[in-house]
Amino acid sequence: MDYLSEGLIRAFVLLFSGDAETFSAVFTTLKASTMSMMASLVLGIPAGFLLGYFDFSGKRQIRAIVDTLLALPTVVVGLFVYALISRRGPFGDFGLLFTIPGIAIAQTILVLPIIISLTATAIEGLDRRLKITLLALGARGRQIAMTSLLEARYAVLIAAVTAYGRAISEVGVSMMIGGNIKWHSRTITTAIALETGKGEFAMGIALGIVLLSLAFAVNFILITLKRKS
């Protein structure tokens, strides 16, 4: 057990000394997850609103597909995106493989079903009288959409926080698309896996502490939003 205590002590030294390699993985994780969240919110909130607000043919089937994709394995997403952006893929000329934007694209695909599904559920849970009231007041199109989203804002924020929590903690996509390249595309999760395999427990523990801190922060925000909603 001595190696664990020594590793823990060295981990705090790395964190408080601002070790460049450690924080490089942290910043890469934050960059990729932030980019993926921005993209997934832009795409997912309108899609979730349409799925939750309107009744149309095939809605149940689409909803079933979206809900099934909530459990989408990260390695499957990684394999799919890798095939698309590798040199032999249709988007190979963009040079996205082994880059932060490449990781962000894969993470967007991974968390998009969460945004769509939870936003749709939030819209479906609104008081049915809201739509009637808005129509009676002459609201149309964008006004109805914005007012409905405003009423469901806490539930939509819960969807965003939930998706962000999955983005920062996944490892399969980051490993396959990012390539775990030091100083370039190495994230917290891939660095932990690599350093632990090398027997470098200090950095693994240090990054684990950072990841746990982020997870606790995300869960705290999630609990707060659930209370407000």
Domains in the chain and their CATH numbers? 2-228 (1.10.3720.10)
Closest of 170, 187, 36, 188 to residue 112, by C-alpha = 36
For the segment 51-86, what is each residue's pLDDT rounded down to a tens digit?
998 888 999 999 999 999 998 889 999 999 999 999
Structure tokens at 204: 């693994």
User: Cβ distance 208 to 192 under 8 Å?
Assistant: yes
Supply the pTM of this predicted model.
Answer: 0.87
For the segment 174-183, what is each residue's pLDDT rounded down to a tens digit?
999 998 888 8
